[in-house]
């Protein structure tokens, strides 16, 4: 195989890769159009979204897009502190009581929510682009 043929083959392969990438990649417009306003939680697509409740033994994943509001309530049978990792928000929960969280999702990724002292996981916040 000559040098030119080789380079040609590589060029074709690169072109195929680039074109496939450009075609497959969802455009920003699509992102906008599929972006529902407001809160998205746990896949429950109700009209008036209920604020999800996280407690030990009943964990869940809260899914939002970046820039949206994250809202949820943490309940605990014991006095503890609820910790949202990454965003590093720490709030006290009274025994048998609850505490509400409400913040803007500014970092992408999956972040854990935990009862800090018991070390019990309450769920995750999934922030997609």
Partner 1 sequence: MRRFALAFSAGLTGSLLLASNASAHGLAGRADLPIPGWLFGWGAAMVLVVSFVGLAVLWPEPRLQTPGWRPLPGGVGRLLASRPVEIVCGVIGVFLLGLVVYAGLRGTRSSSANFTPTFIYVIFWLGLVPLSVLFGDVFRAFNPWRAVGRAVSSIARTASGGDLPPPLEYAARLGRWPAAAALFGFAAIELVIADGDSPRTLAIAVLVYSALTFVGMALYGVERWLDRGEAFSVYYNLFARLSPFETRDGEVGLRKPLSGLPRLERLRGTVALLAVMIGSVSFDGFSSKSIWNGATPDISKFFQDTVGLSPQHALELTFLLGLVGAILIVAGLYWLAVLGAKGVGGGFSATQLANEFVHSLVPIALAYVAAHYFTLLLLQGQGMFALISDPLGDGSDIFGTAETQIDYGLIGATATWYWQVGFVVAGHVAALTLAHDRAVALYDDPKLAVRSQYWMLAVMVCFTSLALWLLSQGTS
User: Using the rule CB under 8 A, is 86 a contact of partner 1?
Assistant: yes
**Shortest Cβ 68–partner 1 spacing (Å):** 14
Out of 53, 61, 75, 89, which residue is the one contacting partner 1 (CB under 8 A)?
61
Round to whole Å and give the CA distance between 62 and 39.
Answer: 9
User: Using the rule CB under 8 A, is 109 a contact of partner 1?
Assistant: yes
Distances from the Cα of 111 to the Cα of 2, 3, 65, 78, angstroms:
53, 51, 13, 23
Distances from the Cα of 26 to the Cα of 30, 33, 64, 116, 129, angstroms:
6, 11, 18, 38, 12
Residue 126 in tokens: 């999934």
Name the one range near partner 1 by CB under 8 A: 44-52, 71-79, 94-102, 110-118.
Answer: 110-118
Q: Which is nearer to partner 1, 39 or 60 (CB)?
A: 60
Q: Among positive and negative, which fits the CA dihedral 38, 74, 53, 63?
A: positive
Out of 49, 53, 85, 91, which residue is the one contacting partner 1 (CB under 8 A)?
85
Between strands 89-93 and 109-115, the pairing is: unpaired
Site for partner 1 in 6-25 (CB under 8 A): 6, 9-10, 13, 16-17, 20-21, 24-25
Round to whole Å and give the CA distance between 112 and 89.
Answer: 11
> Could you list the residues that contact partner 1 (CB under 8 A)?
1, 6, 9-10, 13, 16-17, 20-21, 24-26, 57, 59, 61, 66, 85-88, 106-112, 114, 118-121, 123-124, 126-129
């Amino acid at each position: 195989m000559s040098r030119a043929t080789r380079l040609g083959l590589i060029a074709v392969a690169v072109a195929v890769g680039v074109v496939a990438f450009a075609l497959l990649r969802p455009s920003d417009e699509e992102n906008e159009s599929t972006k529902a306003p407001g809160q998205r939680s746990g896949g429950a697509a109700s009209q008036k979204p209920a604020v999800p409740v996280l407690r030990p033994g009943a964990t869940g994943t809260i899914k939002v897009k970046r820039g949206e509001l994250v809202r949820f309530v943490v309940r605990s049978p014991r006095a503890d502190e609820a910790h949202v990792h990454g965003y590093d928000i720490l709030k006290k929960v009274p025994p048998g009581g609850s505490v509400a969280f409400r913040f803007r999702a500014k970092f992408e990724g999956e972040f854990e929510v935990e009862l800090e002292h018991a070390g019990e996981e309450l769920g995750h916040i999934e922030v997609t682009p």
